[in-house]
Amino acid sequence: MERLDPDKLPRHVAIIMDGNGRWAKRRGLTRIVGHQKGTESVRDIVRTSRELGIKWLTLYAFSEENWKRPSYEVKALMGLLNRYLKSELKEMLDNGIRLACIGQTEKLPPEVQRTLWQTIEKTEHNTEMTLTLALSYGGRQEIVRAVKKMLGDIEKGTLHVNRITEERLSEYLYTADTPDPDLLIRTSGEYRISNFLLWQVAYTEIFTTPTLWPDFRKERYLEALLDYQKRERRFGTTGEQTIHPE
């Protein structure tokens, strides 16, 4: 396989981890087994990202819309999340990984919230990589929340309408301190964003693969990164300008 160029790695990779249910169904197993298998991929991708030196990794673990799933599935997902956080703490500490979260985490079961915030606190001084979990997250909800917070500041007089810029609005999002994703990966062959990081993906490179999330391991990930490195990011300019920046 071709070698990755360490100087051209994406700074921030975001992943829509999809296909656990179908992975299980194909094997005559329950969806829950698919989710369990999916956490092994999470482990593998986090570890590989850290080894490669990727600074920001954001994983879509549970969408705002996923609350509509059958309650036993939601419960199983919450249990898996709780267990994952506990089992990975040591690895995060050993490898300088800081945990962060985005989304309406106040909706998560109290026990999961406790584990989540404890892990965030214990890893807060780590600087090698930030692993952000999107939990009860929705891009539209995030934007509505930002607008409300901005209006609150306008009422208080700490923000003036003329001062609202793209940068200022970004500061009101969950991702205020995070660079926009350079690469967005979606597994399982779907071509949709499913309400993930709507504002932030304006100029993100998108990679989709038919591989189902439980099968998405290091090898597949490296392929996605290689594909990313072959792309020319233009940001609205012409090809000539990107090759010979003025």
Selection from ligand IPE, Mg ion, none that 115 binds (CB < 5 to 8 A by kind) is none
9, 13, 14, 21: residue in contact with ligand IPE (rule CB under 6 A): 21
Nearer to ligand IPE by Cβ, of 9 and 41: the residue is 41
Write down the least CB distance from residue 74 to ligand IPE, Å: 9
CA 243 to chain centroid, in Å, comes to 30
Q: Is 17 in the site for ligand IPE (CB under 6 A)?
A: yes
Residue 175-204 contact track with ligand IPE, rule CB under 6 A, x = bound: -------------x-x-x-x----------
**Given the residues 44, 66, 126, 227, the one annotated as active site:** 66
Secondary structure of the chain in the HEC alphabet?
A: CCCCCHHHCCCEEEEECCCHHHHHHHCCCCHHHHHHHHHHHHHHHHHHHHHHCCCEEEEEEEEHHHHHCCHHHHHHHHHHHHHHHHHHHHHHHHCCEEEEEECCHHHCCHHHHHHHHHHHHHCCCCCCEEEEEEEEECHHHHHHHHHHHHHHHHHHCCCCHHHCCHHHHHHCCCCCCCCCCCEEEECCCCCCCCCCCCCCCCCCEEEECCCCHHHCCHHHHHHHHHHHHCCCCCCCCCHHHHHCCC
Nearer to ligand IPE by Cβ, of 9 and 108: the residue is 108
Residue 203-232 contact track with ligand IPE, rule CB under 6 A, x = bound: ----------x-------------------
**Given the residues 18, 20, 182, 195, the one annotated as active site:** 18
Helices 110-122 and 71-94, packing angle to 10 deg: 10
Is 215 annotated as catalytic? no
Nearer to ligand IPE by Cβ, of 20 and 36: the residue is 20
Write down the least CB distance from residue 56 to ligand IPE, Å: 18
Interface region with ligand IPE, contact rule CB under 6 A, candidates 62-70, 90-98, 153-161, 162-170? 62-70
Is 177 annotated as catalytic? no
Q: Is 57 in the site for ligand IPE (CB under 6 A)?
A: no
Write down the least CB distance from residue 219 to Mg ion, Å: 22
Q: Determine whether 90 is exposed, middle or buried from the number of CB atoms within 10 Å of its CB (0-12, 13-18, 19+).
A: exposed
- Which residues of this chain interact with ligand IPE, rule CB under 6 A? 16-22, 60-63, 66, 77, 188, 190, 192, 194, 213
